[in-house]
Structure 1
Amino acid sequence: MVSSMPLRDAGVAVCAAVALAAAFPKVGAAWLVPFGTAALFWLWQRASWKRAALLGWLAGFIFFAIDFAWVGHTVGHYIGLFGPFLAFGPAAIEAPFFALAGALAAIAYARMQADVAPLGAAAAFTICEWLRSIGVLAAPFDQLGYTQADSPLRVVAAYAGTYGVTFVLCVLGAYVADGLVRRTWRPLAVVAAAVCMATAAAWIAWPARRLPPPTIGVAAIQGNIAQSFKWNSLGLAVRRYTAMTRAAGTARPRLIVWPETVITTVLDGNPPLLTRFSNLARNVHATIVAGSLSGGFRSLYNALYIFSPSGGYVAYQKRQLVPFAEWFPGRAFLSWLPYVSALNGGLTPGTIDGVYPTQALQIAPLVCWESAFSDLAYAQVRRGAQLLVVSTDDAWFGTTSGPYMHAQIAQLRAIETGAYVVRAAATGISGVIAPDGRWLARSRLSRRVVVTGMVGPRVATFFSRIGPTTVGVLLVVLYATLLIPPHTLPADTGEWPDAR
């Protein structure tokens, strides 16, 4: 593919990909995003749609290969030396969305009015980001909007979600590129001024900035049991999490959250453990959310057990499974491939957008991968959830960029929904996030620690009313509308042309 492109354009595509990847943890240079997108739009504005698609594919493959490098660590112990090359798999799957973005952007530049074509190109990129983030095979990591979790632009997520943040970043980049290509900077100046004023107005009106002090105590337990022997250490996990929960109970929290699958057995098939944890919740006078498994031979679920201090419990079953890990698409047809059996978790997805009353608040459980899907959190908030509870096993990521990227995603879920987030990760990062995306308490990686904090009720956001699908559809409508040629007036009369 590269041989069919001028070397310069291929080099620009690679540089754009590297810049965008560097905006994410661990580098975290969020300011690079408008420049990385500007490089892409500069290429696409000057190319045919076919050429733009090729350049987009190249940039996308490099970008995702860098940012999905943690995949090699995640399953590396299963396949040894081949681990580092696994990032090429998701990169190859996701890169076509960059190719589609390039093709749609090139069409926008060719068919839309010059001054609004960058707007259409930005919409095209964001539409493709939305499309790759929906469905059972979706991988919504690496949305550009996540990079702004700690920047003033994060406020946009309260109104238009993470896709809205991505769109603003792309608009800025597209108009920078437009200025370079057309040698006119007036459109960029107008757009930049509009973005600054709109962001300032949104910031001033943002309810999350004026919250009353939170009063409900919570705790996240980070037991720090290494992934390499987690599945052979049930006794250790039970003892450690029981002891840490008792220690956390001295602070009188009303909610205590354990990480995903820390109890490595089918818990509803183990009555002694169920009784033990029910008694523990009663003894510490707190609701305990514990990660384990539920079901049986035919249907095995990744589950969170919610133990009430009154003695009862209910199990939430994870809805969005990790493809090629917790389940393998087309396994029956691909079983001949090496490592398919080793990488397939054989789990069944849950079907309920669970919202559960506790003595703290109504909670919305999100298990690991689910926290990356804004539509799941949106559905639970619409059902009355007041607090997001993220339980995750980020030990799979080791000390790569993965845990930092995943924690950053939780910040955007807090901003979008206007809810506090309690996040418990097996080896970190655990903590409490405010509705404005700030960490109120946060752990470090690879530490055994109890993180405590305070939470309060959710505040309303515009995004929690409209949801991510509405944002995606509006972007499609914007793109399609800008493709419609404007009516022109005859220069001599100023009247509309005769319809005859």
Structure 2
Amino acid sequence: MVAAPVTPDQPVADTPPARRRDVRGTLLRLVLAAAGGGAVFLSFPPRTTWWLAPVGFAVLGVLLHGRRARAGFGLGLVWGLGFMAPLLRWTGEFVGLVAWLPLALLCALLIAIGTAAVAVVSTLPGAPLWMALVWVADEALRSVVPFGGFPWGKIAFGQPEGWYLPLASIGGAPLVGFAVALTGFGAAHLVRDWKLGVPALVLPLAAGVAASALVHTDPDQGAATVAAIQGNVPRAGLDFNAQRRAVLDNHVARTLRLAEDVAAGRAEQPDLVIWPENSSDIDPFRNIDAANEIRRAVEAIRAPVAVGAVVIDPDDKLPRNTVVLYEPGVGATDTYTKRQLQPFGETMPYREFFRIFSDTVDRAGTFQPGTDPEGFTMGPAKVALDTCYEVAFDGVVRDSITEGANLIAIPTNNATFGYTEMTYQQLAMSRIRAVEHGKSVIVAATSGVSAIVAPDGAVTARTGMFTPDALVATVPLRGEATLATRLGAWPEWVMTALGLMAVAIALTVTRRRTRPTPGAGVGEEETDGGPAGAA
């Protein structure tokens, strides 16, 4: 019998209800994923809603439970974009979408690799623990690839306040991130197994509160009066330093004004002074006028000054992002060269390729990295130097601390990112480092925000943005190493190894479950359904 053809007057069958429900369910999951990533973004400074981070992970945990790796990748990509796209908005402030969106997408893709693995382990016994460990492994991956890593979105960097912060003194930023993720995944597991979900939800918070007893601020190596100079720049943007002499003059002038305040008794005499990164983009070793102006300021303030400068190496003629130590009556006595350079800013990987998309790549520099992590001895302090971008890297900061430092200085330049949230995000990293290593931190920025941070992460003084200022404070000098400093990268390595082990076990179990039973197949089905089976 031949079916009658469908005429235009006949109604076409509606989409099956199951398919409609599936489409709606998929759209709902995607919206929830974006909202979960957005919640994590909203937990980052300048906001103080740190508790939104575990909420975002709880949403992610609900979405990924029992899903295949492919679904985990897709949902994680949307979650990652909801997090990274607004977080990294500052990267496109003056160059547009060509920098911002590709970077956000790349970070989201790397997160998606991790969430695919999180989905794989989501049905293992003790799932919240393994899911959180896999998250640590994913952050470790993003800290090293590509182009030397981009750890800017580490969850710990959104926790400079709140209950998790003290955990940094035990296991550094990785332990803080693990605790936040475990709390969120534990909350997601409450409905399925409250006996497991409650401990996973509560224990990280309790551990953070208990760890606060390990955070010390007492000056076991005395104290120092420090000054952070913020001279300001003529204008924000990529051409902030087109008037290089004006930037140098601004920092000289603000230091001279501080010297006048000290002489008049309006400010304390500092033991040491920190100028920002790029405060002298005129090489003082090649330009006598710049050197004389710096020396004039140093002699007036009567204290050693660390000056952020661009120095041209006499051998290869290539620039170095360098901090130069100037001492009264002596001049330049020591240098520190930035070791972790910023890709697409201070360096340009694959320049010819990326020029196809934008000629702004030619603005990127050809800076050469340093290799020596040792900082400066400045008055009573042994100062670890971590210039701008370096503060985001656990190992770079740790190496500078283990050279015997009892104080951390972060000279930085945020003028190229205008009035965006970048400077607040970077300040949050400095606060995490203060607790992680039990040291006071001096942040000196060209245009703000400069700050003095206590060893417990509290900001005791700060400047506004794009305004000249000077911060003077007496801070404790602490030589005692925290547990995080002593353990180094071991907590992250162990957690990463455990997370990868869980993924391997979960994949093995899944493969065994889906492997056909010997003897099963078409022949067996025919036997069961055939005459013999019926008999």
Fold conserved between structures, TM > 0.5: yes
Q: 2:246 aligns with which of 200, 216, 236?
A: 236
Contact 1:278–1:311 (8 Å) recurs in 2: no
- CA deviations on 1:117-140 (whole Å, 9 max, x unpaired) are 110001111211122123543222
- What secondary structure does 1:259 align onto? coil
Q: 1:105 aligns with which of 103, 118, 126?
A: 118
Distance 1:481 1:202 in 2: 28
Q: How far has the Cα of 1:302 moved from its partner?
A: 1.2
Quick one: which amino acid aligns to residue 434 of structure 2? A
Aligned to 1:227: 236
Q: 1:200 aligns with which of 209, 212, 220?
A: 209
Identity %: 25
Q: 2:284 aligns with which of 256, 267, 274?
A: 267
Aligned to 1:395: 415
- What secondary structure does 1:290 align onto? strand
Quick one: which amino acid aligns to residue 176 of structure 1? A
- What secondary structure does 2:376 align onto? coil
CA RMSD of superposed structures (Å): 2.4
Distance 2:436 2:453 in 1: 12
- What secondary structure does 2:373 align onto? coil
Establish whether residue 288 from structure 1 lines up as the match of residue 299 from structure 2. Answer: no
Contact 2:186–2:199 (8 Å) recurs in 1: no
Distance 2:504 2:89 in 1: 41
Establish whether residue 163 from structure 1 lines up as the match of residue 174 from structure 2. Answer: yes
Q: How far has the Cα of 1:433 moved from its partner?
A: 0.6
Moved more, 371-380 or 455-464: 455-464
Aligned to 1:72: 92
Q: 1:30 aligns with which of 42, 45, 50?
A: 50
- What secondary structure does 1:269 align onto? coil
- What secondary structure does 1:207 align onto? coil
Establish whether residue 477 from structure 1 lines up as the match of residue 497 from structure 2. Answer: yes
Distance 1:236 1:324 in 2: 25
Establish whether residue 364 from structure 1 lines up as the match of residue 384 from structure 2. Answer: yes
Q: 2:324 aligns with which of 293, 299, 305?
A: 305
Distance 1:471 1:155 in 2: 15
- What secondary structure does 1:353 align onto? coil
Aligned to 1:132: 142
Establish whether residue 146 from structure 1 lines up as the match of residue 154 from structure 2. Answer: no
Q: 2:63 aligns with which of 10, 23, 43?
A: 43
Quick one: which amino acid aligns to residue 204 of structure 1? A
Quick one: which amino acid aligns to residue 256 of structure 1? V
- What secondary structure does 2:190 align onto? helix
Moved more, 40-49 or 475-484: 475-484
Distance 1:217 1:385 in 2: 16
Quick one: which amino acid aligns to residue 347 of structure 2? W
Contact 2:136–2:174 (8 Å) recurs in 1: yes
Contact 2:46–2:421 (8 Å) recurs in 1: yes
Contact 1:368–1:392 (8 Å) recurs in 2: yes
Mind listing any 5+ residue stretches in structure 2 that lack a counterpart?
Answer: 1-21, 263-267, 507-535
- CA deviations on 1:110-158 (whole Å, 9 max, x unpaired) are 4x32xx1110001111211122123543222121112220113100001
Aligned to 1:277: 294
Mind listing any 5+ residue stretches in structure 1 that lack a counterpart?
Answer: 77-82, 487-500
Contact 2:245–2:282 (8 Å) recurs in 1: no
Distance 1:316 1:142 in 2: 27
- What secondary structure does 2:152 align onto? coil
Aligned to 1:492: none
Moved more, 383-392 or 281-290: 281-290
C-alpha spacing 1:85/1:327, structure 2 compared with 1 (3 Å)? closer
- CA deviations on 1:433-487 (whole Å, 9 max, x unpaired) are 11110112111222211111112222421011112x322211123224556879x
Establish whether residue 215 from structure 1 lines up as the match of residue 219 from structure 2. Answer: no
Quick one: which amino acid aligns to residue 223 of structure 1? G
Q: 2:271 aligns with which of 225, 237, 254?
A: 254
Q: How does 1:312-391 map to 2 (within 5 A)?
A: 312-313=331-332, 314-391=334-411
Contact 1:415–1:436 (8 Å) recurs in 2: yes
Quick one: which amino acid aligns to residue 130 of structure 1? A
- What secondary structure does 2:278 align onto? coil
Number of residue pairs the alignment of both structures matches = 471
Moved more, 157-166 or 222-231: 222-231
Distance 1:336 1:32 in 2: 40
The structure with the largest alpha-carbon Rg is 2
Q: How far has the Cα of 1:369 moved from its partner?
A: 0.7
Contact 1:207–1:460 (8 Å) recurs in 2: no
Distance 1:227 1:130 in 2: 33
- What secondary structure does 1:428 align onto? coil
Q: How far has the Cα of 1:352 moved from its partner?
A: 1.6
Contact 1:433–1:440 (8 Å) recurs in 2: yes
Per the normalisation by structure 2, the TM-score is 0.83
Establish whether residue 465 from structure 1 lines up as the match of residue 486 from structure 2. Answer: yes
Distance 1:156 1:87 in 2: 32
C-alpha spacing 1:396/1:37, structure 2 compared with 1 (3 Å)? same
Q: 1:52 aligns with which of 68, 72, 86?
A: 72
Moved more, 23-32 or 100-109: 23-32
- What secondary structure does 1:152 align onto? coil
